[in-house]
Amino acid sequence: MKILIIGSGGRESAFAYTLSKSPRLDQLFIAPGNAGTGAYGENVNIKVTDFEAIASFVLEKDITMVVVGPEEPLVKGIHDYFLNRDDIKHIPVIGPQQEGAQLEGSKDFSKQFMDRHGIPTAASRSFDAASLDEGLLYLEGQKLPIVLKADGLAAGKGVLICETLEDAKAELKAMIAEAKFGDASRVVVVEEFLKGIELSVFVLTDGNSYKVLPSAKDYKRIGEGDTGLNTGGMGSISPVPFADDIFLNKVEERIIKPTVEGLKKDGIPYKGFIFIGLMNVGGDPYVIEYNVRMGDPETESVLPRIESDLLDLLEGVAQGNLEQRSFTVSPKTAVTVMLVAGGYPGAYESSKEITNIENVKESLVFHAGTKEQDGKVVTAGGRVIAVTTLQNTLFEALQQATADAGRIYFEGKYFRRDIGFDLI
């Protein structure tokens, strides 16, 4: 098979690494990729939303499958673009069409979906410019803290947790009337605050049957002890120790099955990954959000634990016979520690030379924001490199990943030394 992966982050590096081991892979391309993905395939300098250029490349190279990493091309309709062109509609795209991508692209859509199908989630109501006054009144009757969510994609920044009524009212006005998050906050979901521990569950579906992939926990805050600003994710672990069989069974019965069934009932075709962000509230799972792709850096911990051929599962999705496929998961624990640029998630500098990667021997090194410049590997983003290790115990994995994160060098490098230690 000839595969094209769309994206350039640590997630796409993990996909490239995993697919490059498949005995059925003939050729692998990554668009645009980074300074590390070239080790697994060939980088192609095409933007993830340049559908025309992607289509031309796919035709030129006779690509047999396209695997979409990030949400943006999905929400913008890359899959529909393929289906609407006679010359490429036979080429399978892993990732939902635009309608299914609304599960991530619109929080209001996803809340309505969950309500319609009885999927446990925080109670909520949506407001826009026409109902802003009603929204302000509604806030007065709610418990604090209260959660405000911009409906649309806001680069992970569109969720505000307000501790006071005053703050909640000011933010609701800023989001709706002053376009705090641009068009994304034209509609705002006001949601009950759920208290518990978060984790993520990943599902692969062909629209009919599904496979539950390993669960993972992401560490979103920049600072140790889960303090400071939110980031794209500073590290991850898989499996999640507190997600035992009893809990995961509840997740499957109450959330995964009704989600896949709900898509079918609503007539929404869906071939791809569903990333379900969950809150464990006293042993019961509630959906915080859906994403229509894999997580980053969760993918870096999840995929290395899949021992069988991932391409076999993806082919099952493409051919609509996922039910007949099976896969095996390593019982080992994966820990991923993200190395980020100094200043991230605020302003940070780029083009810093990265050295000593070769000193990492016991972990996988997944490039994220890196590029080649004058024959050197340099930083080119906030999240620079994900270091993933797979060990027999959580404790060993934590020690190894943290030690290996320390071995790589670039000016301003920062990483959290406490990823996963809260779960020991």
**CB-facing half-sphere around the CA of 74: CA atoms within 13 A:** 31
Question: Do the beta carbons of residue 301 and residue 216 sit within 8 Å?
Answer: yes
Nearer to ligand GLY among residue 135 and residue 297 (C-beta): 297
Q: By CB under 6 A, which span of 47-55, 187-195, 202-210, 293-301 interacts with ligand AMP?
A: 187-195
Q: Is 107 helix (H, G, I), strand (E, B) or coil?
A: helix
Nearer to ligand GLY among residue 155 and residue 246 (C-beta): 155
Check binding of 174 to ligand AMP (CB under 6 A). no
Check binding of 233 to ligand GLY (CB under 6 A). yes
Enter the DSSP assignment of 214.
P
Which residues, in sequence order, are bridge partners of residue 4?
29, 66
Which residues, in sequence order, are bridge partners of residue 48?
none
Two structure tokens written together for 217: 């926990």
In angstroms, what is the minimal distance from the CB of 182 to ligand AMP? 16
Q: Which of residues 143-172 bind ligand AMP (CB under 6 A)?
A: 147, 159
Q: Which of residues 190-229 bind ligand GLY (CB under 6 A)?
A: 218
Q: Which of residues 288-307 bind ligand GLY (CB under 6 A)?
A: 291, 295-296, 298
Enter the DSSP assignment of 74.
H
In angstroms, what is the minimal distance from the CB of 297 to ligand AMP? 14
Q: From 110, 139, 154, 43, select the one nearest 266 (Cα to Cα).
A: 110
First-to-last C-alpha distance (Å) of the chain: 42
Nearer to ligand AMP among residue 17 and residue 219 (C-beta): 219
- Label residues 109-139 b or e (16+ Cβ within 10 Å = b): bbbebbeebebbbbebbbbeeebbeebbeeb
Choose the contact partner of 28 out of ligand GLY, ligand AMP, none; CB within 5 to 8 A by kind: none
Enter the DSSP assignment of 39.
G
Nearer to ligand AMP among residue 152 and residue 381 (C-beta): 152
- Label residues 359-369 b or e (16+ Cβ within 10 Å = b): ebeebbbbbbb
In angstroms, what is the minimal distance from the CB of 240 to ligand AMP? 14
Check binding of 277 to ligand AMP (CB under 6 A). yes
Q: Which of 198, 252, 372, 396 binds ligand AMP (CB under 6 A)?
A: 198
Choose the contact partner of 298 out of ligand GLY, ligand AMP, none; CB within 5 to 8 A by kind: ligand GLY
In angstroms, what is the minimal distance from the CB of 307 to ligand AMP? 29
Instruction: Give the span between the Cα atoms of 152 and 147, in whole angstroms.
Output: 15
- The residue ranges that bind ligand GLY (CB under 6 A) are 218, 232-233, 291, 295-296, 298
- The residue ranges that bind ligand AMP (CB under 6 A) are 122, 147, 159, 191, 193-194, 198, 220, 277, 288-289
